Amino acid sequence: MNFSDDELKEIEKQLSNPEGEFGIKIAENMNESNIQMTISSIDFLNLSESDIILEIGHGNCAHLKKIFDKIKNVQYYGLEISKTMKDEAERINKELILRNDVNFDIYNGIKIPFSKDSFHKIFTVNTIYFWKKPAAFLREIHRVLKKDGILVLTFAQKEFMKNLPFVKEKFNLYDNKDLHQLIKKIDLEIIEIANKTERVKSKSGDLVDRKYSVVKIKKL
C-alpha cells in the first residue's frame, strides 16, 4: 500500500498521540498489530494477587481483559497523553471498570501524576520512541515504583523500525545496547531480556518480520 508523504506524516503523528476518528482507527490497528507484544509484556510482569500496576500508553486498552483473566485481585491504572484514548479505553472496558479496580487518566507525558512508591509493577509497550526526555522519564518511573518493583519495557528494535515508511522525526529508535546505556544512568537494573520475532501487518499494510524485545527492569 502506497501513502503520500502527508499521509505518512499523519500516521506518525497519530501513532505518537492518537486523536479524533482517525486516531480511533489507528488505535484499533495498533491494538491488533501489537497484541502479542502486549501479551508478552503482561506475562513478563509475573502478576501477583494485590499487585498495583500501571500501564503507560495503553491506547484503546482492548487488552485489559487479558490482565483480569490472568489474575483477579489487582489494581490497574492506565495513563495516556491522548484524551481520545482515555475515552476509548473507558468505553471499551466499561463492564470491567464496574467489576474491578480500574482507573484511566491523562497526563502530560513528562510527569507521572502519582506519589513516590505507588506501584509494584509498571509496563509500557511501544512508547519509548516518543519519550521527550528518556532519562528523566525513567527517573519518574523509578520514583513511582516501590522498592524492588518491576518495569517491563517492550519495544521494536531499531533495525526493524528504521525501515518503516512512517518512522520519521517523531521517533527515537533503540536497540538493546542503546537501552542498556540509558538504564545505567538511573538506579535501575535490567534483569531479563526476551528477544522475539513475529510476522505482522505494518501500519502501511505490508507483512513484515518484526523483531522486538521485552525487557524486565528492577528498581534497586
Say what the pLDDT of residue 92 is: 95
Domain boundaries, the chain: 5-219
Say what the pLDDT of residue 202 is: 67
Q: Provide the residue-wise pLDDT of the chain in tens; the chain has 220 residues.
A: 566 777 767 776 777 677 888 878 877 877 788 999 999 999 999 999 999 999 999 999 999 999 999 998 999 999 999 999 999 999 999 999 999 999 999 999 999 999 999 999 999 999 999 999 999 999 999 999 999 999 999 999 999 999 887 888 889 999 999 999 999 989 999 999 999 999 987 656 678 899 999 999 999 9
Nine-digit cell string for 178: 542503546
Residues 92-123: b if buried by 16+ CB within 10 A, e if exposed: bbeebbeebebebebeebeebebeeebbbbbb
What confidence tens digit (pLDDT) does each residue in 87-136 have? 999 999 999 999 999 999 999 999 999 999 999 999 999 999 999 999 99
Considering only the top CATH level, what class is 5-219? alpha beta
